[in-house]
Structure 1
Amino acid sequence: CGRRHWGHNGAAGVLLARRDEVTGRVTHVVMQHRALWSAEGGTWGIPGGAISDGESAIEGALRESFEEANITSEDIEVVGAYREDHGNWCYTTVFAFEKLGHSVDPCAHDDESMEIKWVPIDDVPKLKLLTAMRTDWPSFRARLDALAAQR
């Protein structure tokens, strides 16, 4: 793919969605405004990072989302995952919903983010997205909508 990758075990992140309590439709997702010094700095993506030795992709994504965005596994429900294979490296996007009755208050926990916040789902394509997120967003949006319809 021509891009530099971090993490010898691959990397993973959480695409966390909030649903309307009445309709169940996805209304918002948590997005991370990446620090200027980082790869593709100044773009928006999801909290995530390198998978540690002995971790599954989901475990790594949950750990990274807590470290970077204060998202706790007790407040979310993992509903699926997508693995993007780059040959000797892969990135796993973990799809999750904020549990009904819970309130996730994401915030930047380290210097890797300028900002982390809930973004209305219809506004995501208007952001300056990380290259991979820009490419994958239409299918991710469709996947979130389909997963929400099943619940």
Structure 2
Amino acid sequence: MRGDGDGWVVSDTGTPYWGRHGAAGLLLRAPRADGTPAVLLQHRAPWSHQGGTWALPGGARDSHETPEQAAVREAHEEAGLLAEHVQVRATVVTAEVVGAGGAQWSYTTVVADAPELLSTVANRESSELRWVAEDEVIELPLHPGFAASWERLRITTMLSAHEHDECLQPVPHTVEIRAGVFAWCTSAAAEVS
């Protein structure tokens, strides 16, 4: 049922976490003009939990949704992104807690790519949406949960088409080179030109 995930789970230490069935966010990358990756970030509205910080578009999962479905839906709601412009590459559970009474809560980061820096439309949950160069993300005041997982999620290396079979696609994109370790593939087309 739509919206049945809205609500807080309180950990056994008393910390609240949004999403009765967990939460998910979309880590969307796209190539900048020079081919290096940019990440779409949301400047959270001042009234929201951890308002004023930068994070991924995302939110509560509904009971019927996979993390991928929830993250793509939330990115549509919060940034106006269309599902057909998003290519999911991987999912990473970046936070897990046990709530009061043994309830489980998790946050799943859905790693995805777009073919270009897509236009966005912010909803009331966003003060701003911005494509940020991968190397500049850490310079922003990040949401604590996102800050704690960023080093794990960021690109660790740049690969070219001849270095990895999955880099043979014609557009730059993210590749999970081993569980939870990501590389940015430059396009095969760029190497030919």
Q: Which structure: greater strand fraction?
A: 2
Gaps of 5+ in 2: 1-10, 99-103, 157-173, 176-181, 188-193
CA RMSD of aligned residues (A): 2.2
| Aligned-pair CA distance for 1:135 | 1.3
- The count of residues paired between Structure 1 and Structure 2 equals 146
| Residue aligning to 1:139 | 152
Equivalent residue, structure 2, for 1:123: 136
**Runs in 1 of length 4+ with deviation above 3 angstroms?**
20-23, 142-145
- 2:184 match: 148
Describe how 1:1-151 pairs up with structure 2 within 5 A.
Answer: 3-19=15-31, 25-26=36-37, 28-83=38-93, 84-87=95-98, 88-99=104-115, 102-108=116-122, 110-142=123-155, 146-149=182-185
User: Looking at both structures, which has the greater relative contact order when contacts are Cα pairs under 8 Å and sequence separation is at least 6?
Assistant: 1
* TM-score of the two chains, using structure 2 as the length reference: 0.68
Alpha-carbon contact 1:33-1:43 (below 8 Å) kept: yes
1:68–1:112 CA contact under 8 A, matched in 2: yes
TM-superposed CA distance for 1:142, in Å, is 3.2
C-alpha spacing 1:141/1:50, structure 2 compared with 1 (3 Å): same
Amino acid at match of 1:80: A
TM-score normalised over the length of structure 1: 0.86
Structure 2 contact 30–117 (Cα < 8 Å) conserved: no
Unaligned 5+ runs, structure 1: none
How many percent identity over aligned positions? Answer: 34
Measure the CA separation in 1 of the matches of 2:33 and 2:128. Answer: 26
